[in-house]
Amino acid sequence: MQEERQPRDPTRKMLRVFGVKVTQYEERTAALLEQIAAAPDDQPEDLLRLAAEVVDLTADMNRHLREMVGHVLNTQQRVLTDLRAAIERAQE
């Protein structure tokens, strides 16, 4: 039973981290967008600073998303490779 759970542990950890990142991103960007909407027009430097923070948060979110997608694609590739090997053995 322990052997079956081991491969999933990194996935579960990655999903937890990703879930937290998404939640934090949603909360922080919502707050920043509110600040942007309320920013006075005569202070463009504040708008630029807030926009830069949104850009940084989005870039970080994209990095985590790429890691998650990469992990899923690697898992699928591993499954398909094992399946192909099993099919080839069965056809011998």
- Indicate the helix (H) or strand (E) that contains 70: helix 44-91
Tell me the domain boundaries of the chain: 2-91
Over 50: is that where the pLDDT of 1 sits? no
- pLDDT band at residue 2 under the 50/70/90 scheme: low
- Please tell me the pTM assigned to this model: 0.80
Phi/psi zone of residue 77: left (φ > 0), alpha (ψ -120 to 50 degrees), beta? alpha
pLDDT in tens, 17-57: 999 999 999 999 999 999 999 999 899 999 999 999 999 99
Residue indicated by tokens 């600073």: 49
Q: Report CA torsion sign: 15, 72, 10, 65.
A: negative
* Alpha carbons within 13 A on the beta-carbon side of 90: 6
Over 70: is that where the pLDDT of 7 sits? no
Which tokens in the block code for residue 84? Answer: 């192909």
